[in-house]
Structure 1
Amino acid sequence: MAQSRQGGCECGAVRYVVSGDPIVTYACHCTICQSQSGSAFGLAIRIHAEDFQISSGELKSFTRQADSGQTFTNSFCPDCGTRIHHKPSKSAGHLSLKPGTLDDTSWVKPTHHVFARSAQPWFIFPEDSQVFDTVPSDRSWITGK
């Protein structure tokens, strides 16, 4: 049975519930994710879109093209700007949730690192993680199939 997890934006205007188990937790080291996160990488938890529900507030969104060439719809709180998730065009049934928006992040640990070719030179990849120069062509790691 999947554990229900709650989260929300920085100002509290948007709250959500995730009812399903995560597919994968990954760190993306592409330059876009570095810019968006203001850090060395962006962290994401891939979930089934049907497992995500807004419990209060509403999201705004914009679309961008990633280093992979894929289009993403990025959703955020219109009041404080906190990015909640992004939806990939090639996996419409999935969302990549920003785990820093969860109320409890103690269990979050990335198992995969993508776009390692763009990683900051000082970053050391954990020995127990899978590391890819770009995004693997075999999408089973991120779709759960």
Structure 2
Amino acid sequence: MERHASCHCGKLVLHCTGEPAKVSLCHCFDCQRRTGSLFSVAAFFRRSSVELPAGMAKAFRRASASGFAVSFHFCPECGSTLWWEPERLPDLIGVAAGAFADPDFPMPQQAVWGDERHGWIELPPEIPLHARNPVKAAPPE
């Protein structure tokens, strides 16, 4: 299986092979601000399964609640965030699920940061909702 994700203007395109290792929906305020929506859906692929576009993307790096930084890569032309690299998951690359523009894309396996979810959003019962992210130790100093 090969999938292509692109930014809004189409200048950045990712090529992903195989199925995502995990699809996760996040309700955190940081994802809400980043997307301009009420949540984000990430498809996490093995790094070896993703062909990144050369050179053009801009990056924004920030701390996260896990204690590990995350680098978000976006198109300098249209501003779409296309992928991110979470330090806490170094073997995975998160890709914005909506960037695949595929209504048959796999459903999220989990929802995180439910503590910051808008109360009127109802998820399908098959998606477990966690109050925060799964706990993982902070990086050594």
- TM-score, scaled relative to structure 2: 0.87
What is the aligned partner in structure 2 of residue 24 from structure 1? 22
Q: Compute the RMSD of aligned alpha carbons.
A: 1.9
Gaps of 5+ in 2: none
CA distance in 1, matches of 2:12, 2:121: 32
Q: Could you tell me whether the CA contact under 8 Å between 2:24 and 2:111 is conserved in 1? A: yes
1:98 aligned residue (88, 96, 114): 96
Runs of 4+ in 1 over 6 A off after TM superposition: none
- TM-score, scaled relative to structure 1: 0.85
2:87 aligned residue (86, 89, 92): 89
- The range that moved more, 10-19 or 98-107, is 98-107
Partner deviation per Cα, 1:24-54 (whole Å, 9 max, x = no partner): 1111011001111111111111111111113
Identity score, percent: 25
Q: Could you tell me whether the CA contact under 8 Å between 1:99 and 1:108 is conserved in 2? A: no
Q: Could you tell me whether the CA contact under 8 Å between 2:85 and 2:94 is conserved in 1? A: yes
CA distance in 2, matches of 1:86, 1:118: 21
Gaps of 5+ in 1: 140-145
What is the aligned partner in structure 2 of residue 143 from structure 1? none
What is the aligned partner in structure 1 of residue 41 from structure 2? 43
C-alpha displacement at 1:134, in angstroms? 0.5
How does 1:34-73 map onto structure 2 within 5 Å?
34-54=32-52, 58-73=56-71
- The range that moved more, 115-124 or 64-73, is 64-73
CA distance in 1, matches of 2:116, 2:5: 29
1:124 aligned residue (109, 122, 125): 122
CA distance in 2, matches of 1:133, 1:40: 16
Size of the aligned set, in residue pairs, is 137
Counterpart of 1:128 in structure 2: which amino acid?
E
Counterpart of 2:24 in structure 1: which amino acid?
Y
